[in-house]
Amino acid sequence: MADLALKIRGLKKTYGSFTLGPLDLDVPKGAIYGYVGSNGAGKTTTMNLIMGMGRMDAGRIEVLDLDHIEQEAAMKSKVGYVSLDLSFNAWGKVDKLISFMRGFYDDWDDDYCESLLERLKIGWKDRISTLSFGSRTKLGLVLALSHRPPLLLLDEPLAGLDAISKQEIFAELLEAVQDESRTVFISSHNLDDIERFTDHIGILHQGSLLLEGPTTDLSEVEGLVVQKNEGGRCRALVDTHRDTLQSLVERGASDLADSPVTLEELFVALVKD
């Protein structure tokens, strides 16, 4: 489908006792899609399989209408990828790494790259092994953005970062997606950050996609989940589109008050045993 940046159908991968999928997932073009879940839910496995790192047991992945296996080289030329697992120490210094990476992309933008390095406070001659954790993450983002790819795949890019580093990275990402044809697929277990940044959400739990869709529609979950019950008072997650509050009144509930659900509350309600 021409309107999807990422299309996954029937994806399945088993590692020991853990199984991802079967997974169906749609990421619209121009979306900032938050792929959220607890550690070990399968987020990194999904990212790795998209990038061709590891063989899937079943399924099909299309990236920007390209088969991620049969058209791997063309696909990767259109993707910017950031992962905590990537290490650049072997290149020694930043300038050598950038000189190596730019050779893979005909559309590498030298001026944009230099601007990113300056704004994120990374020096051309900085030794990579001496960069802080946050600076190494920012360097990965520079490499991912500098060829202006139509799709960014970001695997836990905010993990372990301080508030200032997060703000700097968010600022660059928001500027990068001003072009509505550019798509961001970002995985994270930090729900507060994701909720403010994304317009689409997919919630992954123990290898299964529980829910996906526009962030503004995520309150439309059927049913009622009691989150806390003490002293005759309850706190619950309810679907207000199904007249649930009126139903509670008819059953004898009183002194009702409601407030919008947060992504964290929704996530906990969905994955809690």
Name the helix (H) or strand (E) containing 96: helix 94-102
Q: Residue 120's domain is classified under what CATH number? A: 3.40.50.300
Please check whether residues 183 and 241 belong to one and the same domain. Answer: no
Long-range contacts of 262-267 (CB under 8 A, 24+ apart): 262/191, 262/195, 263/36, 263/191, 263/192, 263/194, 263/195, 263/201, 263/215, 263/218, 264/191, 264/192, 264/195, 265/227, 265/237, 266/203, 266/218, 266/219, 266/221, 266/237, 267/36, 267/191, 267/203
Please check whether residues 123 and 255 belong to one and the same domain. Answer: no
Of residues 197 and 271, more confidence is placed in: 197
98 pLDDT exceeds 90? yes
Name the residue range of residue 50's domain: 4-214
For residue 159, give both structure tokens: 């993990």
Please check whether residues 122 and 193 belong to one and the same domain. Answer: yes
Name the helix (H) or strand (E) containing 23: strand 18-28
Looking at residue 46, its pLDDT comes to: 95
Please check whether residues 74 and 154 belong to one and the same domain. Answer: yes
Average pLDDT, the chain: 84
Kindly state the percentage of the chain with pLDDT values over 90: 46
Rounded distance between C-alpha atoms, residue 186 and residue 32, angstroms? 8
Average pLDDT over residues 22-31: 92
Residue 219 lies inside a defined structural domain of this protein? no
Residue 25 lies inside a defined structural domain of this protein? yes
Please check whether residues 245 and 153 belong to one and the same domain. Answer: no
For residue 216, give both structure tokens: 């503004």
Looking at residue 221, its pLDDT comes to: 41
Looking at residue 189, its pLDDT comes to: 79
**46, 203 in Cβ contact below 8 A?**
no
Please state the domain count of the chain.
Answer: 2
Please check whether residues 258 and 175 belong to one and the same domain. Answer: no
Please check whether residues 250 and 157 belong to one and the same domain. Answer: no
| Residue indicated by tokens 């700097």 | 168
Please check whether residues 195 and 264 belong to one and the same domain. Answer: no
pLDDT-based confidence at 173, cuts 50/70/90? confident
pLDDT-based confidence at 1, cuts 50/70/90? very low
**35, 207 in Cβ contact below 8 A?**
no
For the stretch 215-239, pLDDT in tens is 766 544 445 565 565 555 666 777 6
Average pLDDT over residues 268-273: 65
Rounded distance between C-alpha atoms, residue 227 and residue 236, angstroms? 5
**Inter-CA distances, 2 with 64, 93, 243, Å:** 8, 40, 37
**19, 12 in Cβ contact below 8 A?**
yes
Please check whether residues 141 and 228 belong to one and the same domain. Answer: no
Please check whether residues 148 and 246 belong to one and the same domain. Answer: no
Question: Which stretches of 100-222 are assigned E, i.e. beta strand?
Answer: 151-155, 183-188, 200-205, 208-214
**23, 11 in Cβ contact below 8 A?**
yes
Residue 232 lies inside a defined structural domain of this protein? yes
39 pLDDT exceeds 90? no
| Residue indicated by tokens 């317009």 | 199
Residue 47 lies inside a defined structural domain of this protein? yes
CA count, 13 A, side-chain hemisphere, 152? 32
